[in-house]
Structure 1
């Protein structure tokens, strides 16, 4: 009997050895396949980045975090593969926990890039806003981390960057679906305005209110920014089109605003509650004399966790809202609440129930 047990044990050991070799051979073949089939990506800066395989430990780092994070989470794989990200709160709470049940397990990084903290999370890819290239790329190269830079600042950039994200997540089908949705939402605005006459276009103004050291100021965007692009796409002309305002938001005084005499003003505030900005306007005798104020044509931009004017996917519903405000005659049956509900379903797979309970309570500007 002992001899039989000994023989049986030998057979098990031999079989285990064979299985072990087979498993190792399979693993080796997978590694070889990965090395022979790398992923080549051209990022927003035109840099060619070669990845040995589809990344499994992705980190978003640096400022403008919510723009990239909200783009990343358009892909269902993000929940599993994103291990860390920078804080994306714009003082209105966090959107991503609605999408990701594992969000509380993510590493939340400061918006200032810290290489040691990044390395501690063992990433195989970083996704960073493109304007941070000159400041940080040398540091990334020193530690050998692959980096993809995204732009996300215009409709054209979004189309290209969605294709890049499709490569990163190995989901070209979703990337193509998103590109189709971007086109559809944009055309829902542009198509009704195809035959609008120049004289029927309103002369409108976008103003961003910000405070520094307790002093408030209004600013206008450059002509190249997505806010200005949205205004023009929605059938209006920017009253500041002939001003030389440079490449960044530019402060303007009330005298200049009055001189422009806009038909409508679209008001943006990222940090200060919009109700406080409206109170400042309501209490000013100068603003009370403005034609747009008298005609009740000062319109705060809608927002939920983020304002709908920014180059986040929400710019699509911000665009629809601007067109509706400026040309209601072309969108008489439009229900912005339904537009927003469909948007969050199409882009983030959010159910009607979750939209009503988790997003709608945070929305301002369309109720």
Structure 2
């Protein structure tokens, strides 16, 4: 007996209706057609929804990837990203097909001037850049009919704004609101415990990036407006980097550190060799540092890192896990106020709830975390 074939148009209609119903049950109706958004540079950009081919590349693109993968639909529409970012275990767990989406070297993935011609050949609907990428690149792509949006993702305010912007671009504003609410809730939980602390109860904290770039060892502290400085402030400490002038990394010598005499020191290296943990041990055993208050009290801490690749996984950097770093710093700086805070549990739930990992996958990421969790 011959089976009846379902007409193709009926099948397509059924798929569309099913997708619509699923979306409606989640509390929103998928948007189609053109929308107008304002990006991090204040540019008004027209984007046609739904976007089906998204590239995220250019200088410092890794924070964008880290937030984008919080949206379940992104693994289906993202097809262009930096190979270095694609090697991160967390992102590989979220997107098993990530190796098929890496961009070739001709693109200039880590550059502030990615190759426009090579990007255009990939025929994207949308390209998302960090604000570190030159505006001329966007203008050239837009002249070819390709939408370009800039995001910043450098502090709480820009995180909340850009998460909601990405929610519009990916057609999932409810998810964006949930993610933004998580960041707000955790940040304000910390502030609720520390905001009223007098200066006398705020230990002097120094955040140090130990660098061996170019074969030269240097200690660097963040500028007064950088995320690490505001994290220490929110966590109930006094960030000594407030006293520095430059907006970027400031090289500081031992004489300056000794004069400050920090009570708590946080260490990052953004590399596996040397690791933050090994630098920490060296400082604790260095006779030159023995009179520094933080060394005397054993309060030199290696910042947790879940990918050990530049700043992509370090909990102080403006990737998605900075909020875990905020909680971690609060517990290190004001242990009495945050005695009930279980960092391991917070991190495990973050990987599960924000990235959709199951308990086993989250546990595997947890096992890779280095530093003083």
Tell me the TM-score normalised to structure 1 length. 0.85
Confirm or deny: 8 A CA contact 2:222 2:241 kept in the other structure.
no
Structure whose residues are more often helix by fraction: 1
Rounded to whole Å, the distance in 2 between the matches of 1:164 and 1:240 is 31
Q: How does 1:237-316 map to 2 (within 5 A)?
A: 237-243=238-244, 245-271=245-271, 272-282=274-284, 284-305=286-307, 306-316=313-323
Equivalent residue, structure 2, for 1:105: 100
Confirm or deny: 8 A CA contact 1:66 1:88 kept in the other structure.
no
Residue 274 of structure 1 deviates from its aligned partner by 1.8
Rounded to whole Å, the distance in 2 between the matches of 1:281 and 1:46 is 44
Residue 135 of structure 1 deviates from its aligned partner by 5.3
Please give the per-residue CA displacement for 1:145-183, whole angstroms capped at 9, x wherever unaligned: 210000000100011101110110111111111111111
Rounded to whole Å, the distance in 2 between the matches of 1:256 and 1:166 is 45
Residue 142 of structure 1 deviates from its aligned partner by 4.3
Confirm or deny: 8 A CA contact 1:234 1:319 kept in the other structure.
yes
Equivalent residue, structure 1, for 2:52: 56
Rounded to whole Å, the distance in 2 between the matches of 1:97 and 1:142 is 34
Rounded to whole Å, the distance in 1 between the matches of 2:285 and 2:339 is 33
Rounded to whole Å, the distance in 2 between the matches of 1:230 and 1:76 is 28
Confirm or deny: 8 A CA contact 1:65 1:87 kept in the other structure.
no
Tell me the TM-score normalised to structure 2 length. 0.84
Equivalent residue, structure 2, for 1:30: none
Greater displacement, 285-294 / 159-168: 285-294
Count residues in correspondence.
336
The answer to whether structure 1 residue 159 and structure 2 residue 155 are counterparts is: no
Residue 98 of structure 1 deviates from its aligned partner by 0.5
The answer to whether structure 1 residue 365 and structure 2 residue 365 are counterparts is: no
Other structure's SS at 1:45 match: coil
Confirm or deny: 8 A CA contact 1:88 1:94 kept in the other structure.
no
Equivalent residue, structure 1, for 2:356: 349
Distance 1:126 1:89, change over 3 A: closer
Rounded to whole Å, the distance in 1 between the matches of 2:102 and 2:196 is 50
Deviating above 6 A after TM superposition, structure 1's stretches of 4 or more consecutive aligned residues are: none
Rounded to whole Å, the distance in 1 between the matches of 2:285 and 2:101 is 45
Give the unaligned 5+ runs of structure 1: 1-15, 24-33
Give the CA RMSD over aligned residues: 2.5
Equivalent residue, structure 1, for 2:170: 169
- 1:42 corresponds, among 17, 38, 45, to 38
Give the unaligned 5+ runs of structure 2: 1-6, 14-29, 308-312
Equivalent residue, structure 1, for 2:204: 203
Q: Which protein has the larger Cα radius of gyration, Structure 1 or Structure 2? A: 1
Equivalent residue, structure 1, for 2:21: none
- 1:75 corresponds, among 49, 71, 76, to 71
Please give the per-residue CA displacement for 1:117-160, whole angstroms capped at 9, x wherever unaligned: 32232101100001213452343244332100000001000111
Residue 283 of structure 1 deviates from its aligned partner by 5.4
Distance 1:88 1:95, change over 3 A: farther
Rounded to whole Å, the distance in 1 between the matches of 2:118 and 2:281 is 42
Rounded to whole Å, the distance in 1 between the matches of 2:195 and 2:267 is 26
Rounded to whole Å, the distance in 1 between the matches of 2:204 and 2:286 is 23
Other structure's SS at 2:205 match: strand
